[in-house]
Structure 1
Amino acid sequence: MNAIVSFCHFCELHGPNVVFCTQAFRDLPDFDALNNLDAPDIFQYQCIRNQEQRKNDDSHAWRYGRIDPDDVANTKAASGSDNCIACCSFPHNKPGYISNDDASRVSYVSSQFPLQSELYVLVRQGCIRSLSCEVCPGKEGPIYFGDEARGHVLSYTFFLRDVQARGFQRWYSILILMKDKMLLLNSWPFFVRHLRETISHLQEKASKIYSNEESKVSHRALRSAASMMDGVRKQRGQSAAGQPRSLPELVGDEKIWEYLHSSSTWLLKAGGLRLQERLVEGPQVSALIAETSDDEGINIRELSNVMGGPIFHRIVHHLLVGHQVVIRGTNRNVVSRIILSLKPLLPKQCFKAVGFSEHYIERETCNALGLSPLAKIPNGACGNAHMCVVEITANDGNQGSSWASAQLMQGNLFDSEHQLHNEKSSGDFSEVLPANFASLFNNCSFKITRESTLLPRPPQVLARIEAAVGNLTLTKAALRMYTSTIIYEWINKVKVWVHIKNRKKSSQASPERSPCQVLHPSVIFRSTSVPVLQIPSPTSLRTVGVSGSPPEAPHQDERHQLLAAIGCTEWDVPLLEFWAKNFSQG
């Protein structure tokens, strides 16, 4: 765990000071091994190097992540040397205790100050704040403070009893400083529980020493008598009372620093193993979005160019909200490829297409239909108000295009599907089609002959698709990838929409009153506490709105809150409902 555990003390002579700290050091993978792609295991290569280094230099117990000695010298210069015995744990600022975890290749090093000068500044600031202003009520207990620049700190302040201290107790704190705020707060119960055990152990030892010294002579009585005698007050500075004492003397244990090292090492080790980040991946994009390529049809940019922006806008609008789009034309291949070109605009579960059919198919079976001009659309299907019919016709005005017009009407441009597949190149549809393919569509006209009513504003996703189509810097592959990203983003919004609606239905399915219990209207209005409706004032009428619509119901407010949370508006609701219906069926 990337954190520093520090033991701090409020000295009566020098104020807040860092006394002891423990930090973890790790070896970074060798860059030579990273560049060697044929190496079976980078860390195994580094471990071999470390073993060879330890064989050549066994005098160093610090095995992993050893830092530059100049950094230690800089830290020592920044810390100063005017500390007393109560502010020191080691007579030097070198590693005092070292524990090596060979399995994880981590060295846990304890010293008086952090061994890096930049970390010493952060720990020093945390020490001052923990023993001055950032304290909880009663001055004992855990508290959090910090920011991104100075690190995030868990501070646990406590007192140790001492007969020679002012107020007969000394003030200490244990800090856990790290850069990861979420890890620190999520591990709060674990850290606090372990720190409380360590602090209780120290307080128990200090209380025994305090009781033993008080049993010999009452230091409280001596101080009361000294305050009444000027001579004694003058000699007080020469006596032992009020002089600083080291932590081993205070708790009566010369190995207390070793205990703190073991405790802090275990805390860093266990804290790193307790919570770990994991990359949770959902289903593959291919399971939700249809995989398309240019050889299946023209891309949506070319489709927009040949149809025209307004017609393309209306067709995609109908398709996104679940209306049936019918493309009618004589040439089977052209019609089927236009249908396939609409495939990237919907999730896989929502796109139900038939490339070309001699008879009409209902909207529930397919929402993108290529239809022969000879096929008739039933009157019942025309009256369902969920259809958009596009007719493809050939232009006869240009004599130079007579061959293309004839081929379009006769359906002979792509007579051989086998030849089409054999002539495929590297996924570029322009190389598969004949040279006069562009002239073929240039001599075609598209007209919407039947259309249901649409909302005044389309879903937001349509504006993003049109912006991508108009961005000429995007290549065909980039446009296809960007369109898939947009659709996948809205799939996630639909998932949230479905989840919230299902939870609401489940909560309504188990009301407090039995579902079969139906109250008669006379029973409902029999209550004597029916509120009296008053005529609203002109001021309140202004808040209703120009249209005079009544205030929204509570469920409408919840719906607006949900739409705002997922970044949608009321114009996106038809799309959400259509996509959600197909996902629930799938």
Structure 2
Amino acid sequence: MNAIIGVGQFCEIHGPCLVFCTQTIVEINNEPIDEFELDDNTEHSRLLHTCEGCTSIGIGQALISKDHESDQVSYISTQTPRKKLLRQSLKQACVRSLSCEIGGNSKSNDDCTMCYCDGDQGGHTVLCYTWRIPDAKARGFDRCLIIVLLMKDRFMLMSVWPFFIKHIEELVKQLQAKAKEVCEIEQSNGNNKGARIQSGCAPSCAPRSLAYLTGLPTIWNLLHTRFSWILHSAPKILREVPPPRYSSSLIDSQANRNSILKDTSFRDLHSKLSDDNFIAVCHCVTTGIQVVFRGDESEGAQYIQLLSVLLPPGKCFTTYSSTYLLPSECSLLAVGFGIALPKTCADVFRIDMLKTEWVVRWDGCVPEKANKLCSSILKAVLNEKINSATLRAHIQSIILKWQNTAGTLNMAGSSSINNKTLLRTLGVGDEDLHFVSYWATCLQKINNR
């Protein structure tokens, strides 16, 4: 993966700085990787900070690992990247994430925050993972660090971020545990934390390296190994997987449903009902409440087919039945006048299609604010400037949008319905939660079959 993973820290003398980075190097024209430029006589090397806290493996030194699957790919770790644009991008990420964009909960050793930096002069996108480790002699008794992932391909970066964060969190927890042990030993040996707080005096010692704070002399070798493995493994997790909503059978089913809209119209249905009842019947179909049309067989079948496009995948409908079917067996049902039906209740929305008028029988109620799917369909139906062909296409696009939203929530897992950030990104409001979670649940049942 063509990316850079780096470690930065907030030095109490020099401020935010990068101390270690690992990047992928692809050999061109079979040039040996050993000839990678690492001389320490450049202007850049003279400008590097030289305190212990800002030093890792040293100027002009490198750790190199060969990719066993490709002879032309290697992973090299240095104190800073050799290219000027990369150094500037990582430096800017360190400054932003370690000084001005730290979350309010980052003071805790167990909590971490993320910083997103995009659109720098090099065209790079950077995601930063900010964390802290205890340091008995630092201001505030802890040290602020970051692990950054830099890449030019923004979409690739966002795709591998869950994989990256999973393994970085494991690494961070290990380093925090080691640093906590070292800190406790220092405090037990006379470094009185309480006396320092009471006196208000800042520590007089110079910043100490990450190797000292964690008690791991080989920590840079450890980081090189972990980062190299992440750069090697991350691309393997990316594969083209169609959303569960669009398996081949579901695609055929959706195509059949969309063709139904060519023969019937939501405007015809709306002309038979008031605005409130139109919203109510759409609400019932989208939230799993059974809708029953009682009356003429052909007329009932026509509107059952029309409303079936609002059903989530896996739900059944019957254009005509000689007996009543339970809601668990059929979500949409058309029957004749002679068929016995349950008494009026909130679980069954019944429409009696009389010759003079339609009579709605339902004890339930629609929320004060209807979900966006139903309200968008009603708004389109009421817009007289939209002709029939455009209306069909528009309603199809509305339905497809919410099908994709439900599919995204299903793929994100059962806890995604409580993820306010994800819901806000997808445009899901409080009024939409009920029907979107219902659709996502139906998709999950199909996946588990």
**1:201 aligned to which of 155, 174, 187:** 174
Q: Which amino acid aligns with 1:250?
A: L
Alignment pair present for 1:163 and 2:136: yes
Q: CA deviation at 1:72?
A: 8.4
Gaps of 5+ in 1: 31-45, 54-61, 228-232, 279-494, 530-547, 567-586
1:274–1:563 distance in 2 versus 1, CA, 3 Å = closer
1:265–1:226 distance in 2 versus 1, CA, 3 Å = same
Which runs of structure 2 are paired with 1:129-148 in the superposition (5 Å)? 129-139=96-106, 140-147=112-119
- 1:250-281 deviations in Å (ceiling 9; x for gaps): 01110111111111111100113322689xxx
> Where does residue 359 of structure 2 map in the other structure?
525
Q: CA deviation at 1:216?
A: 2.7
Alignment pair present for 1:76 and 2:45: yes
SS at match of 1:147: coil
Q: CA deviation at 1:561?
A: 6.2
Would the aligned equivalents of 2:57 and 2:220 in 1 still touch at CA under 8 Å? no
Aligned residues: 288
- 1:79-102 deviations in Å (ceiling 9; x for gaps): x1344110111331432x111124
1:514–1:129 distance in 2 versus 1, CA, 3 Å = same
Alignment pair present for 1:125 and 2:86: no
Q: Which amino acid aligns with 1:512?
A: S
SS at match of 1:175: strand
SS at match of 2:208: coil
Would the aligned equivalents of 1:142 and 1:192 in 2 still touch at CA under 8 Å? no
- 1:542-566 deviations in Å (ceiling 9; x for gaps): xxxxxx9957699964523668999
Would the aligned equivalents of 2:5 and 2:23 in 1 still touch at CA under 8 Å? yes
Would the aligned equivalents of 2:182 and 2:213 in 1 still touch at CA under 8 Å? yes
> Where does residue 18 of structure 1 map in the other structure?
18
Q: CA deviation at 1:183?
A: 0.9
CA distance in 2, matches of 1:561, 1:255: 62
Q: Which amino acid aligns with 1:521?
A: M
Q: CA deviation at 1:134?
A: 3.2
CA distance in 1, matches of 2:383, 2:169: 61
Gaps of 5+ in 2: 107-111, 242-251, 262-304, 318-329, 338-350, 364-381, 401-449
SS at match of 1:131: helix
% same residue: 30
1:555–1:198 distance in 2 versus 1, CA, 3 Å = farther
CA distance in 1, matches of 2:104, 2:77: 31
1:247–1:520 distance in 2 versus 1, CA, 3 Å = closer
> Where does residue 64 of structure 2 map in the other structure?
98
1:275–1:74 distance in 2 versus 1, CA, 3 Å = farther
1:116–1:215 distance in 2 versus 1, CA, 3 Å = same
Alignment pair present for 1:515 and 2:334: yes
CA RMSD of aligned residues (A): 3.9
- 1:499-525 deviations in Å (ceiling 9; x for gaps): 872597664663723234665335943
CA distance in 2, matches of 1:258, 1:212: 24
Would the aligned equivalents of 1:146 and 1:153 in 2 still touch at CA under 8 Å? yes
Alignment pair present for 1:560 and 2:394: yes
Which runs of structure 2 are paired with 1:210-229 in the superposition (5 Å)? 210-217=183-190, 219-227=192-200
Task: Work out which of the two has the higher radius of gyration on C-alpha atoms and give 1 or 2.
Answer: 1
Q: Which amino acid aligns with 1:501?
A: N
TM-score by length of 1: 0.43
TM-score by length of 2: 0.55
- 1:440-497 deviations in Å (ceiling 9; x for gaps): xxxxxxxxxxxxxxxxxxxxxxxxxxxxxxxxxxxxxxxxxxxxxxxxxxxxxxx9x9
> Where does residue 146 of structure 2 map in the other structure?
173
> Where does residue 107 of structure 1 map in the other structure?
74
Moved more, 120-129 or 194-203: 120-129
Q: CA deviation at 1:214?
A: 1.9
Q: Which amino acid aligns with 1:107?
A: S
Would the aligned equivalents of 1:71 and 1:117 in 2 still touch at CA under 8 Å? no
Alignment pair present for 1:254 and 2:226: no
1:71–1:153 distance in 2 versus 1, CA, 3 Å = farther
